[in-house]
Structure 1
Amino acid sequence: MRALVLEKKGELSLRDIALPLDVGPDDVRIAIHTVGVCGSDVHYYTHGAIGSYVVRAPMVLGHEASGTVVEIGANVRTLKVGDRVCMEPGVPNMSSRATKLGIYNVDPDVTFWATPPVHGVLAPYAVHPAAFTYRLPDNVSFAEGAMVEPFAIGMQAAARARIVPGDVAVVVGCGPIGIMIALAALAGGCSRVFISDFSAPKLKIAAQYPGIVPVNIGEQSLVDAIRVATDGWGADIVFEASGNPKAFANLFDIVRPGGAVVLVGLPVEPVDINVPAAISKEVRIETVFRYANIFDRALQLIASGKVDLNPLITGTYAFGDSIEAFERAASARPDDVKLQILMSGEEG
């Protein structure tokens, strides 16, 4: 099949590559329709590695996807040919201790699309377990279906935060995941969510949503803004979604005593954390790595109409222009949030 292949760091090509398409008894084969360009895909393109995951051989990119079922395995009863679906890209070892504990997102044996050495799905077809394939409701488009995966990270972050209705939250970083965390936090019961960044265009997009308050940290101090907004008390929850080492310096100045800091952004290098500041406030620290047992909930919330992700889609490319899409994503244009690649040539 013709696929978008990361040959090595900094080199992409659209070419034929042999990919496994045998459908097992519990699998489905999917004609891929829409694939989102994720920051991790871009990082593999620009850096060739994320932590211990290193691109050592050509790899097909893409893991945020939707499509149509074209073949089902003998044991599949939950799906049928013609169903529009989205797919949870990480498949755990179902007998692992992590999976049995319900934390399959941290299963060391998980196979995750477009994570070396596992191929992604920027190709015409993919085979996937039916258990990790979800039917799209009629009112959810393919484009929205391909947004369920990143939104699930926001949902995981909101769940880890243990939101209490009325909480005030702060999200540091107004990228795609940052905005989705803000939306998930509002859906989870937060009364207000402040979101900070240097990018005025991204903050403007986030500010379209009622309940999200933008803070341009190029113009004002986030610590001061939250101090004023909370009468000096601090935010109930602070989500770190930028991965920028500098952002960790004042996290515990923003959060209230007894509040929570949720770490979502993944720094490339180790960072310093002010442990005395955290201890003096008895701050609860949570971490987020992908998601577990929440993908279907993310889809249901989108289908309910309570969360509209369409304003976050700032560019759509044909499959033949995939390399151009990645070059644009790597350039980090300030007005871009989420780029998508249309495999079929038809929207819907």
Structure 2
Amino acid sequence: MQAVVCHGPEDYRFEEVPVPVPGPGEALIRVEAVGICASDLKCYHGAAKFWGDENRPAWAETDVIPGHEFTGEVVALDEEARRRWGVDVGDRVVAEQIVPCGECRYCRRGEYWMCGPHDMFGFKRRTPGAMAEYMVFSPASLVHRISKDLPPAHAAFAEPLSCSLHAVERARISFDDVVVVAGCGPIGLGMIAGAAAKSPARVVALDMAPEKLDLAIKCGATDIVNIAEHDPVEFVRSITDGYGADVYLEGTGHPSAVLQGLNVLRKLGTYVEYGVFGSEVTVDWSIISDDKELDVRGAHLGPHCWPAAIRMLESGALPLDEICTHQLPLARFQDGLDLVARGTESIKVSLIP
């Protein structure tokens, strides 16, 4: 089969490799689409170069097929796998990014998304990813069925959307809240849709691209602010009697968005971080403690949010034709990575094997 193989930072190659053979309790999947995200870009460049810090190890092992946002069709599985996942040959499926060990402290406590070994599709040799014609789901994989009525690139959007919804869950949004979402890329737009589904008082979207702000309205934002033209802190204070936002969801990975969030929040507000950063961030922590006593929360992966993400995709609630902007043949993986790196021409880029 044809596949993209990582041989090191900035050394991804389009190659012929053997079709994987599923073992007991596993399933062979014909990949229909695989998305490219900021984490893929970080791995492509190598974490050390990406961060400008040689002490940071590379994220992905070599000789690995990348790709962790995917959908595909089941082409072979045994009875054990059929019973475990409730799927059969011909079903379209997605799987969560992480393949938990089931044995570490986090897995034993039900916190599988923080699994100690942290095997994830597309990052380690024992869990090859989806930038290939076929892939295998191991017995520990977390598998969900998804409608065949969706275009493949739309179905593969289940992964980033589940991540967005997890960030929303971490925020514990209430009906009276004013929620601010920084960034209207794939993660930010999903945050907007998830936050709007909680029915808060306002959902304010921040970005510098007018076309992305237009999409934010379609995803459920009540207000949009082009931060290249207007001060978001002043705007939020103008709609909150001077207090500030209740919740700030950060989905850009830009260092300036961190201080922006700390400033836009009211006292006792909640900050949720999901962005993939390309450099370290320094802020005055007294804003978090002495000034405002903020709740600052991280968010990682999309635990327990996949069923909701799939329902949202299947319902047609999101303008997926406008979010999933580019679908390229697998052989054009480099063009896809470059599109994501530039960030000005695309929102969600997918490869179609």
CA contact (8 A) 1:36 1:63 kept: yes
Q: 1:290 aligns with which of 289, 301, 314?
A: 301
1:316 Cα offset (Å): 1.0
- Higher mean C-alpha displacement, 14-23 vs 107-116: 14-23
1:191-202 equivalence runs, <5 A: 191-202=201-212
Q: Does 1:71 align with 2:76?
A: yes
Alpha-carbon distance in 1 for matches of 2:28, 2:299: 30
1:104 Cα offset (Å): 1.2
Residue 300 of structure 1: aligned partner: 311
Three-state SS of the structure 1 residue aligned to 2:79 is coil
1:1-348 equivalence runs, <5 A: 1-18=1-18, 20-25=20-25, 27-47=26-46, 51-75=56-80, 76-77=82-83, 78-117=86-125, 118-129=127-138, 132-279=142-289, 280-332=291-343, 334-343=344-353
Residues 336 and 212 (structure 1), Cα distance of their counterparts in 2 relative to 1, 3 Å cut: farther
1:87 Cα offset (Å): 1.6
Alpha-carbon distance in 1 for matches of 2:223, 2:201: 11
Three-state SS of the structure 2 residue aligned to 1:325 is helix
1:289 Cα offset (Å): 1.2
Which ranges of structure 1 fall in alignment gaps of 5 or more residues?
344-348
- Higher mean C-alpha displacement, 11-20 vs 289-298: 11-20
Letter in 1 for 2:13: S
Alpha-carbon distance in 2 for matches of 1:212, 1:103: 34
State percent identity of aligned pairs.
27
Alpha-carbon distance in 1 for matches of 2:60, 2:254: 23
1:321 Cα offset (Å): 2.4
TM-score, L = length of structure 2:
0.89
Residues 211 and 269 (structure 1), Cα distance of their counterparts in 2 relative to 1, 3 Å cut: closer
1:159 Cα offset (Å): 0.5
1:36 Cα offset (Å): 0.9
Residues 15 and 48 (structure 1), Cα distance of their counterparts in 2 relative to 1, 3 Å cut: farther
1:31 Cα offset (Å): 0.6
Alpha-carbon distance in 1 for matches of 2:321, 2:10: 30
Letter in 1 for 2:131: L
Alpha-carbon distance in 2 for matches of 1:72, 1:284: 45
- Higher mean C-alpha displacement, 198-207 vs 42-51: 42-51
1:308 Cα offset (Å): 4.2
- Higher mean C-alpha displacement, 254-263 vs 194-203: 194-203
Alpha-carbon distance in 1 for matches of 2:220, 2:300: 28
Please report the RMSD computed on the Cα atoms of aligned residues, expressed in angstroms: 2.2
Alpha-carbon distance in 1 for matches of 2:241, 2:10: 48
Alpha-carbon distance in 2 for matches of 1:207, 1:11: 39
Three-state SS of the structure 1 residue aligned to 2:325 is strand
1:317 Cα offset (Å): 1.0
Three-state SS of the structure 2 residue aligned to 1:112 is coil
Alpha-carbon distance in 2 for matches of 1:256, 1:269: 27
CA contact (8 A) 1:38 1:62 kept: no
Alpha-carbon distance in 2 for matches of 1:54, 1:264: 18
Alpha-carbon distance in 2 for matches of 1:54, 1:335: 26
1:139 Cα offset (Å): 4.2
CA contact (8 A) 1:302 1:308 kept: no
Alpha-carbon distance in 2 for matches of 1:14, 1:67: 20
CA contact (8 A) 1:263 1:287 kept: yes
Alpha-carbon distance in 1 for matches of 2:315, 2:33: 21
CA contact (8 A) 1:174 1:203 kept: yes
1:98 Cα offset (Å): 0.5
CA contact (8 A) 1:163 1:185 kept: yes
Alpha-carbon distance in 2 for matches of 1:201, 1:300: 26
Deviations 1:57-112 (A, max 9, x none): 23322111011101112312211101111121211011222112222111121210
Three-state SS of the structure 2 residue aligned to 1:59 is coil
CA contact (8 A) 1:202 1:335 kept: no
Letter in 2 for 1:122: M
Letter in 1 for 2:3: A
CA contact (8 A) 1:53 1:116 kept: no
